[in-house]
Structure 1
Amino acid sequence: MSASTPTPEALLRRMEMTVLRRLDGLLHGDYHTLFRGIGIDLADLREYQYQDDVRHIDWNVTARMQTPYVKEFHEERELTAWFLLDLSGSEDFGSQQVSKRMQAIYLTAVLASVLNRHGNRFGAVLYGAGKDSVLTTRNGRQQILRLLHGMHGCKPPDPATSGSRAGTRLHQLLETAAGVARRRSLVFLISDFISEPGWERPLAALTHRHDVIAIRLYDPLEMSLPDLGLLTIQDAETAEQILVDTHDAGFRSRFVAAVGEREERLRESFAEAGVDVLEISTEDDIVDALYRFSDLRKHASRLATGGSAQPWRAS
């Protein structure tokens, strides 16, 4: 990846020649592990087993038999996928060559291309330019290009010149998605989750109807500050500036503690919503991250089975 983002056409050509072949080789037969979908036709009932999704428990049969039973469904040959893309101002941050926005574009291009190669339809809801933009579900190479062009064109207003001081309202993206994703779908929510409060409940509601994968993007510099002396830090979404002394060990310690508290709140929110979470850094290789996630998703228990929420980091 270079510091400048290539055009959608150039990016797609490069991925078709290199990245997608590599991903296919890594996944082998695990495509349905990463992109699993659940059919709408009830196939059978069976006793609950460890790692089953408790959302599929048939409570009427369970009460009658005095032991948990789960519903089994016919797997759909084709699934519908939605990309919920947070393209707000904070996504422009990147301490090295790759920003969170660039990582989101590359990641979306890879996922959409793999979905398309298996004949699946996908759409998107883009948040970031003041009004959500909806790309209806289709398949085909042109649909990938429409999606990538939409991401390139979805630029939030500059708060320093526009006068806008609003932060990200992630709940708006989720509420829009709930209105457009009518049939049960695979949903990729790609965001850094730097947002005003209130997104947790809409995410939980979305998870009740869809198979949701939350992909959280972050930059290592957001987790800990090195000793760089006096720095002026600006909020990308409000243009608010603050002068900090990173040479102060006490300040760096308080920063790490605040990050730890935020990480714990995020884990709790994801656990309550019952979503699978993949965390990807701006320094991570996307193909390796997806392969690791596929392997972990195959073997790890669902959050809803009673385990604690442990987001899966790519590194």
Structure 2
Amino acid sequence: MSAEMISMPSAPTSLLQRLEWRARHAVNTTVSGEYRSAFRGRGMEFDQVVKYQWGDDPRDIDWNVTARLGEPYRKRFVEERDLTIMFVFEDSPALQFGSDGRTRRQTLLETAALLMTISAINRDRVGLLYSAPGKSWFQRALPGRKGIMRIAATLLDQPAPSLDGPTACPLSWPFVKKSATRGSVLLWFGPFAPQGMPELWRELQQRYQAVGVRADDPWDVELPRNAKLSAYDPLAGRLTLLNTASSAERAAHAAWRERREEYFTEMFPRSDDRLIVGNVDDPLQSLIAWFHRHRHGGARA
């Protein structure tokens, strides 16, 4: 696994400039405090117990103290000055599908670049583990805009994996555990096709704040009716012909969708730790909505 960074690629420079401008505007007007709220759980250290006030995050309630004193108390945290955001990008061929102009891969790449830019604006450190079939590399966490923008540009410049080659994208979770400091935020971008629980996953979730980031296409929710089309089957690793007029095909798609949701929920039991961005949606607006849910308590599924 390579740990060397190459120089700033030129191809994604204009896209990064546009994303950075949008991210700075969002941070200045909307998401600065909400970003800190979303990524505060493992990136804070305990200060003291104080009385719970209306509007405080109920996740911070200290139930032992509350039961002992007969009124609600919460834990107060102080922000660590050096928060590390570790990006894991699983560049599976399964991401190369899009029914309306943009693929899941493009959606996740843009979302990752936006989050890297927001992290740089908030003076956090950013690292990246990238994995594609037959290729993987790691960049240790770097501080500062220049280093983080170089990481984002390198990610955006990665060629899409071949659709007629190998499909496996091995992710070395023991390596992640060794490379990321305790209390880091772990953002995993991938297809999340139903499969077994990764090695060390529950242990990593105790060690880090782990968030799964998935891109959804409208056809993931419902296939068009009475159509014949070719689509990439991530489980078989090949293109397959679909006849959506077939009740059997539609039932198989519904069963796949159910298994996919069950697996994603099993991997990330708290809904706050699941970020889904639609191919037809603006990734920045999806991020803002996700940050907003965190700031206001979110759902706790």
TM-score by length of 1: 0.76
Maintained 8 Å contact 2:82/2:124: yes
In structure 2, what is the equivalent of residue 313 of structure 1? Answer: none
In structure 1, what is the equivalent of residue 122 of structure 2? Answer: 118
Q: 1:225 to 1:93 in 2, by over 3 A?
A: same
In structure 2, what is the equivalent of residue 204 of structure 1? Answer: 202
Aligned length: 289
Q: 1:293 to 1:253 in 2, by over 3 A?
A: same
The letter of the residue matching 1:248 is: S
Would you say 1:281 and 2:274 are equivalent positions? no
Maintained 8 Å contact 1:52/1:302: no
Looking at structure 2, the residues matched to 123 and 262 of structure 1 have their Cα atoms a distance apart, in angstroms, of 28
Would you say 1:182 and 2:181 are equivalent positions? yes
The within-5 A match list for 1:64-103 is: 72-103=76-107
The within-5 A match list for 1:4-43 is: 7-27=11-31, 29-36=33-40, 38=42, 41-43=45-47
CA displacement at 1:181 relative to structure 2: 0.4
CA displacement at 1:296 relative to structure 2: 0.9
In structure 2, what is the equivalent of residue 138 of structure 1? Answer: 142
Maintained 8 Å contact 1:100/1:219: yes
1:183-221 CA-to-partner distances (Å, cap 9, x unmatched) read 32122222221263222x633222211122222212121
Alignment equivalent of 2:295, drawn from 284, 287, 298:
298
Maintained 8 Å contact 2:193/2:234: no
The within-5 A match list for 1:167-246 is: 167-169=168-170, 172-194=171-193, 196-199=195-198, 202-235=200-233, 239-246=237-244
Looking at structure 1, the residues matched to 233 and 149 of structure 2 have their Cα atoms a distance apart, in angstroms, of 31
In structure 2, what is the equivalent of residue 52 of structure 1? Answer: 59
CA displacement at 1:277 relative to structure 2: 1.1
Maintained 8 Å contact 2:13/2:153: no
3-state DSSP of counterpart to 1:283: coil
Q: 1:229 to 1:31 in 2, by over 3 A?
A: closer
**173-182 or 62-71, which moves further after superposition?**
62-71
Maintained 8 Å contact 2:227/2:245: yes
Q: 1:40 to 1:116 in 2, by over 3 A?
A: closer
CA displacement at 1:176 relative to structure 2: 3.0
Q: 1:139 to 1:233 in 2, by over 3 A?
A: same
Looking at structure 1, the residues matched to 197 and 293 of structure 2 have their Cα atoms a distance apart, in angstroms, of 29
RMSD: 3.3
Q: 1:241 to 1:217 in 2, by over 3 A?
A: closer
The letter of the residue matching 2:251 is: S
Maintained 8 Å contact 2:48/2:75: yes
Maintained 8 Å contact 2:57/2:297: no
Maintained 8 Å contact 1:93/1:99: yes
Looking at structure 2, the residues matched to 265 and 203 of structure 1 have their Cα atoms a distance apart, in angstroms, of 13
Looking at structure 1, the residues matched to 194 and 99 of structure 2 have their Cα atoms a distance apart, in angstroms, of 20
1:237-281 CA-to-partner distances (Å, cap 9, x unmatched) read 75434333211234313422331233133223321x786111111
Identity of aligned residues (%): 25
Maintained 8 Å contact 1:119/1:139: yes
Looking at structure 2, the residues matched to 142 and 77 of structure 1 have their Cα atoms a distance apart, in angstroms, of 19
TM-score by length of 2: 0.80
Maintained 8 Å contact 1:129/1:154: no
Q: 1:71 to 1:173 in 2, by over 3 A?
A: farther
The letter of the residue matching 1:180 is: S
Q: Any unmatched runs of 5+ in structure 2?
A: 1-9
In structure 1, what is the equivalent of residue 110 of structure 2? Answer: 106
CA displacement at 1:284 relative to structure 2: 1.1
The letter of the residue matching 2:110 is: Y
Maintained 8 Å contact 1:83/1:188: yes
The letter of the residue matching 2:197 is: G
Q: Any unmatched runs of 5+ in structure 1?
A: 1-5, 304-308, 310-315
**88-97 or 257-266, which moves further after superposition?**
257-266
